[in-house]
Chain A
Amino acid sequence: SQLAEENSWALSVHEGESVTVNCSYKTSITALQWYRQKSGKGPAQLILIRSNEREKRNGRLRATLDTSSQSSSLSITATRCEDTAVYFCATPDDTNAYKVIFGKGTHLHVLP
């Protein structure tokens, strides 16, 4: 069952601009993760935000979690060309705590 989905397939911004990737999920969750996958690499976690947190930061990254609307966002400020990547949200499977369900990803292109 697909629990988490990003809301955009692709986004383009110019270097220096800010961008937000959104994610919606379908059931109550205990935590939500954001991952980034650069071309030719495996995904790498950016932020893990738990259900009792509303916001979490990691450098230029800021994740929010709204449990009432079952949505999350990942904002990147002062984007750089090296932020070009696919961004995934991921949640624990609601029927199996050992599993993580990944969204299909948002392709972000940061243009010079």
Chain B
Amino acid sequence: EAAVTQSPRNKVTVTGGNVTLSCRQTNSHNYMYWYRQDTGHGLRLIHYSYGAGNLQIGDVPDGYKATRTTQEDFFLLLELASPSQTSLYFCASSDAGGEEEQYFGPGTRLTVL
């Protein structure tokens, strides 16, 4: 059973569009993360959370909002999408922050035209 799921798997939108990426984990982990992955940059942290209602800013937060509604669900919101946000987005969960394994979802490929 996949422990971290993401939806949609692929999304195409236009500049200025509104996009929500969803992530659900069934690991009972407190920590959840949103990354973007781009060639030449590796994985970059956008936002993260260590519990329902908590939100922390990552390293590349501009243009992104996030919300953690429950322990299981973490959403990434792009309210005015731009072509620079075309990327592969991964959600991950972890039991204990930076020193423990992160479990990744399958990714969402977002294209902003």
Contact = CB atoms under 8 A, between A and B. Distances in A.
Partners in one complex: yes
B102 A45 contact: yes
Interface residues of A, number: 24
Please name the 3 residue pairs, one residue from A and one from B, whose CB atoms are nearest each other, closest first: A42-B104, A92-B98, A104-B42
B28 interface: no
Given A43-B104, A97-B97, A104 B48 contact: no
B43 A48 contact: no
A106 to B, nearest CB: 11
A43 B90 contact: yes
B31 A41 contact: no
Provide the main secondary structure of the chain A interface. strand
A42 B97 contact: no
A104 B40 contact: yes
A83 interface: no
Contacts of B42: 88, 102-105
B43 A98 contact: no
Interface of B: 4, 31, 40-43, 45, 48, 50, 56, 58, 90, 92, 94, 97-102, 104-107
A67 interface: no
A1 to B, nearest CB: 9
Interface of A: 30-31, 33, 40-45, 48, 88, 90-93, 96-100, 102-105
Contacts of B4: 42
B101 A98 contact: no
A99 B99 contact: no
Contacts of A45: 101-102
Nearest to B90: A42
Contact of B99 (A43, A92, A104): A92
A88 B44 CA distance: 13
B99 A88 contact: no
A93 B45 CA distance: 11
A42 B48 contact: no
Contacts of A30: 99
Contact of A102 (B43, B50, B105, B106): B43
A105 B43 CA distance: 9
